[in-house]
Structure 1
Amino acid sequence: MTSGDAPVEVEAPEEPATTFSDLGLDGAVLKALDDVGYETPSAIQAATIPTLLAGRDVVGLAQTGTGKTAAFALPILARLDVSQKTPQALVLAPTRELALQVCEAFERYAAHLRGVHILPVYGGQGYGVQLSALRRGVHIVVGTPGRIMDHLDKGTLDLSELKYLVLDEADEMLKMGFAEDVETILADTPDDKQVALFSATMPAAIRRMSKQYLHDPEEITVKTKTQTSANIAQRYLVVSYAQKVDALTRILEVENFEGMIVFVRTKNVTEELAEKLRARGYSAAAINGDIAQVQRERTVNQLKSGKLDILVATDVAARGLDVERISHVVNFDIPSDSEPYVHRIGRTGRAGRTGDAISFVTPRERGLLARIEKATRQPLIHMQLPSVDEVNVTRLARFDDRISEALAKADRIEGFRDIVAHYMRHHDVPEVDVAAALAIVAQGESPLLLEPEPERPERVERGERRERGPRERDERGERDGRRERDGRPDRRRQGDTSMATYRIAVGRRHKVEPRQIVGALANEGGLSRDDFGAIQIRPEFSLVELPADLSAETLARLDDTRISGRRIDLRLDRGGPSRRAAGRGGDVGAAASDEKPYRKPRHKS
């Protein structure tokens, strides 16, 4: 740091003594905070807001979910000059989901400020909307580095009068390969601007950036006892992959949930699982990187309004999602690292509310569970699969409630009472039998109660053929060449036609690394890291294996993606790398060239 001051470390208090008015905020901003129900500032807000109001640069070290958006948004809104039509504030975020979340927060806090215009700028959205807004005049721009660079190159974004610049989740931006873009943007802004940099960690690159581009910043660190919220009850269920859908259905039967997000690893599984849940009578929908932004926003609004109860999502698609109704998060596929786990379960238990997180763990994933518990310093509670009796008790209670609700409608009961009495007189049937028959009519073909589970034989005589159970089938499938992963064929097997080789216009000469390629393409194209095959970096270009069934919309977004400040010009590599097996049991798809192909590690160590 360039400052000689010692970093300010803040222990997150349970009940902060200060109020927002004590921090120097007043008027319309305080009124908006009252509207959204904010009473007292969080630790990062209490330490950061006065510093930013005083005009000083800030480096804030805080985990996600600590309230850092309000920490920089409120001071910016308090000092905004609505008469200036060129952008006064620029917020850079690593993903479009986070950019939208920050933009929505600004709009909530500016509800009582007249004439404030805020614009989200991100890849995947048409340029027309953004250009029209910029021509009319915008006070605050919230965007991803790649699309901001596009506007700067086209001359459609004027940052000459910028007063405030925020780097949100700066460490994530660097991990995703946006370092050069961020530095280019910083260099294209006025020297006298105020800068706030927020990051969960302080790697060397962030330290160097803060020294180069921030003036005498104050470093504020929020110390948290755990990475996961104490308001979230965390449980896990040991289940084979083949049993996951049935296990999820039973959990939905017995858990008292309002809204739920079910996380899976791949975009293909989002659609498959949502369809299976709808077939079982649940209101479910999928969001993934292939879904258009308009459809995504419509789906999220349905979840907020109660028209939708279950959202099946990938990590990238759910980033930045904040819906008050979410009471449960289910990790249908447990993540391979603690960081996405924290982000996932952080979708519930927000702003002091309680929440539940349930993770499905296959027998071979117990090691992942132990690593997550160690990293979060919070053990997960082992839960049993809800039994047939538990499900039936819940079903009977729900059936009783339906009867009670019908009995409460006295005006309708009277008319049906006469109809039942007429039937009894003419058919000589007891009331209870008529009631049971009407219950059958109401229930339809689906049985109300589950049948008791058959007892498994303790032993099988030699020579007697027995059916292999789901768990055994699942584990045998995992042993036998890893035939299936995440419910789909392993794309890395020789002869697999589900992958195609694409060529991108960045290579070794541009100092590009595999992690930058994965991060940029995953962000802009909404891809999962499991969608990447071999990556080969050549001197002038690189070859990347991606799913062959990418939609036209995804390909268009990827074609506009920038890595190290260069447009990648994505296109199919017609020749493709020469293929050879790497020996029995080895990776398939290595290129016969001087470059060693990069393969995404299965788990972080």
Structure 2
Amino acid sequence: MTEVMTGQSFADLGLPPVVLKQLEKMNFTVPTPIQEQAIPALMAGKNVLGEAQTGTGKTAAFGLPGLSLLDPKLRKTQMLVVAPTRELAMQVAKAIAEFGQQARGVEVTTVYGGSPFPPQIKALRGGAQIVVGTPGRLLDLLKKGVLDLSALRLAVLDEADEMLNMGFIEDIETIMSSVPPSSMRALFSATMPPAIRKLAKTFLVNEAGEQPVNIQIAAQPQTKASIRQRAWQVRGLTKLTALTRLLETMEYQRVLIFVRTRSDTMEVTEQLQAAGFKASPLSGDLNQTQREQTVSQLRSGKIEILVATDVVARGLDVPEITHVVNYDLPGDTESYVHRIGRTGRAGRSGEAILFYRAKEKHLLRHYERLTNGTIEFFEVPDAKQLSAHRQTKLQEQIQQYVAGQDLTALTTIIERIQSQTELSPLQIAAALLAQQNSVRPLIVSEDPAPRKFAERAERPERSDRSARANRTERAPREGRDSRDANIDFDTYRIKVGREHGARPQDIVGAIANEGEIDSRYIGQIQLFDSHSLVELPKGLPTAVLKILQRARVRQTQMDITLADEAITRRPRGDKPARGERPAFKGAPRSAGGPRSKDGRADKGRSRRFQ
């Protein structure tokens, strides 16, 4: 919850004693601005349109009045919260459950894709009054007739702009169309692109034609004033080498490192642990108990460095975090603000470090505007500076040992070695130093000279000619920045198509949720009857592919494979259906188009989903 508070107390907002008692137990005494305005409006039965950034206390703004208005004795769904990701859904559900600990008989359940249906269906049929879920799974449960909204009193869309980014807008419209007209509605979003404003205009006007209460909470740039922002352009050194050098040479208490995928969290963590750092991953592979243990270890100091993805780090509040490292830049500028907000907490100062490639430099201007700050450019310590740092640290350690410990016994050993071998003390000291030098060199080899296009050096890339051939022009999705035109894609085939009821937004949502891949990095999608083709970044980690192979779209497993492999296995004489395009530019004509199970050509049409 943000530190910006108002002059009122929660008792002034009309909340019932059972809720106030729990807030007092949690040491929540003064509401934030969004809570001060949203809670009375919802308690009075009005719809709410809230525009507020992450960290302003939105969950309590709708969770507290929702708890206050439901009937614990009625075993039906009375409050519905729609969240873009399962991680956020779990976080919201946990917060509401904590707010409602004093209210007997109130049950909160979470429903999301990638998890078995039976336990979720059992919870709904058991009469959970509060349901928090992701759009795809909520829609599936509605179609199955399991999610009954006839008794619904409050429907909430949380992080609506993020749901738009992930392609859930049609699912949201379908869900909101199932909400009874008499129910209250609330929509919260950090930004208000046209599609979200249209959604608000359609669903937030009540039965009497009354417009929603519009609450706008301005961002608080002064809360970021204590955060220093610095950027290093990736060149010459790999990002991992640069990261280890920074961690070795800078003074920090706790560090939070943001990467793109959960497989990246493991890879970076393993490398840091091998280099001697106390690091741990925080990803969707960990269950809730494991995540809580990891955060607890970070607070206690058993872990000093946390490597995480955007989704699971949402809401992370550890005041001891002094540095945030953007190892991979986020897919949108709002996520950057959320990331750096993890440091500089509770009035402390913090530092945000960015690793960017030349083609990403334009993003820095957006970050500066959003944070009302300045990003400084810096260079990672070179080999000479790193050598000097290690030698200085060694000298300090030797001085501390001499000053703080009794070295008489060790001095005797040195004297005996000298007398028996006729070695000088300097030679003995140098020999002992050589052992340490073999573990961590005190004289680091010279850095390689920066190469042209050095940003491509960390992983093998296709040739420029091939990249141009396989790259297709992409239009920006409404309400967000366009994708980086320099991203190289591979085309993948998934065994889900129109006959399974799949739509592009279903595919985007599944890949974004399960693979933790920002929708910015999901390219063109082509739908066919029995399968689909989707572009994903070249060099996708094996661990991510394994996760996506098990992921489901419309209850059908993706079973994802590289499209060019699938194409080469087709009979040579196959021809594409009329109007069908090849899987990607440059595909041989003789490869033909996709085929259905009975051997007939799939009647597919190419669709771009941006």
TM-score, with structure 2 as normaliser: 0.74
Specify the alignment match of 1:279 in structure 2: 274
Describe the superposition over 1:370-409 as per-residue Cα deviations: whole angstroms up to 9, x where unpaired.
34324444211233434437744884598489869x96xx
* Whole-angstrom distance in 2 between the partners of 1:86 and 1:490: 55
Task: For structure 2, list consecutive stretches of 5 or more residues without a partner in the other structure.
Answer: 420-424, 471-487, 571-575, 595-602
Return the alpha-carbon distance in structure 1 between the equivalents of residues 183 and 290 of structure 2: 37
Offset at 1:144? 0.7
Residue 43 of structure 1, aligned match among 18, 22, 33? 33
Q: 2:558 pairs with 555, 567, 570, which one?
A: 570
Q: Which amino acid aligns with 1:120?
A: T
**Out of 17, 20, 30, which is 2:10 matched to?**
20
Match of 2:195 among 205, 213, 234: 205
Please tell me whether the aligned partners of residues 167 and 506 of structure 2 are also in contact (alpha carbons under 8 angstroms): yes
The alpha-carbon distance between structure 1 residues 444 and 540, as it changes in their structure 2 partners (threshold 3 A), is closer
In the TM superposition, what whole-angstrom CA distance separates every residue of 1:537-578 from its partner, at most 9, and x where no partner exists? 458864224559455553333x2x34xxxx666355755888
Counterpart residue number, 1:388:
386
CA–CA distance in structure 1, aligned partners of residues 318 and 592 of structure 2: 44
Q: 1:403 to 1:108 in 2, by over 3 A?
A: farther
Work out whether residues 497 and 527 of structure 2, in 8 Å CA contact, stay in contact via their aligned partners in 1: no
Structure 1 unaligned runs (5+)? 1-11, 408-412, 457-468, 479-483, 601-605
Note if contact 1:502-1:545 (Cα within 8 Å) is conserved in structure 2.
no
1:10-409 aligned within 5 A: 16-25=6-15, 27-214=17-204, 215=206, 216=210, 217-224=212-219, 226=221, 229-240=224-235, 242-287=237-282, 299-300=294-295, 302-303=297-298, 306-335=301-330, 337-350=332-345, 354-386=349-381, 387-388=385-386, 391-392=389-390, 395=393, 399=397
Per the alignment, residue 573 of structure 2 pairs with: none
Q: Structure 1 residues 142 and 417, CA, compared in 2 at 3 Å: closer, same or farther?
A: same
User: Which amino acid in structure 2 is aligned with residue 378 of structure 1?
Assistant: G
SS at match of 2:186: strand
Call closer, same or farther: CA 1:444–1:116 in 2, change over 3 Å.
farther
In 1: Cα distance, 2:110 partner to 2:392 partner: 45
Q: Distance in 1 between matches of 2:547 and 2:356?
A: 34
Does the 8 Å CA contact 1:97/1:318 hold for their aligned counterparts? no
Give the Å deviation of 1:166: 1.1
1:3 corresponds to: none
For the 8 Å contact 1:337–1:372, the answer to whether it is kept is: no
CA drift of 1:193 comes to 1.8
Alpha-carbon spacing, 1:398–1:309, altered in 2? closer, same or farther (3 Å): farther
Determine the structure 1 residue equivalent to 2:450.
Answer: 471
Matched, 1:504 2:496: yes
Aligned residues: 545
Q: Is the 8 A contact 2:497 2:529 kept in 1?
A: no
Counterpart in the other structure of 1:487 = 459
Deviation, structure 1 residue 447? 5.9
The question of whether the paired residues in 1 share the 8 Å contact of 2:490 and 2:535 is answered with no
CA contact (8 A) 2:81 2:156 kept: yes
Q: Residue 147 and residue 596 in structure 1: after superposition, are their counterparts in 2 closer, same or farther (change >3 A)?
A: closer
Q: Distance in 2 between matches of 1:251 and 1:280?
A: 13
Would the alpha carbon gap of residues 401 and 105 (structure 1) be closer, same or farther in structure 2, given more than 3 Å must change? farther
234 and 194 in structure 1: CA distance in 2 versus 1, 3 angstrom threshold: same
- 1:198-222 CA deviation, whole Å, 9 max, x = no partner? 1123334333333333323211111
- Secondary structure of the 2:303 match is coil
Q: 2:548 aligns with which of 543, 551, 554?
A: 554
Question: Which SS does the other structure have where 1:242 is aligned?
Answer: coil
Q: Aligned pair in 2 of structure 1 residues 580, 103: CA closer, same or farther (>3 Å)?
A: closer
The structural deviation recorded for 1:227 is 10
Distance 1:130 1:42, change over 3 A: same
CA distance in 1, matches of 2:541, 2:249: 40
For the structure 1 residues 83 and 282, does the alpha-carbon distance in structure 2 shift closer, same or farther, using more than 3 Å as the test? same
Q: CA RMSD for the aligned pairs?
A: 4.6
How far apart are 1:119 and its partner, in Å?
1.7
| 1:29-64 deviations in Å (ceiling 9; x for gaps) | 445444544453222112112212222211111122
- Among 517, 532, 539, the alignment partner of 1:527 is 517
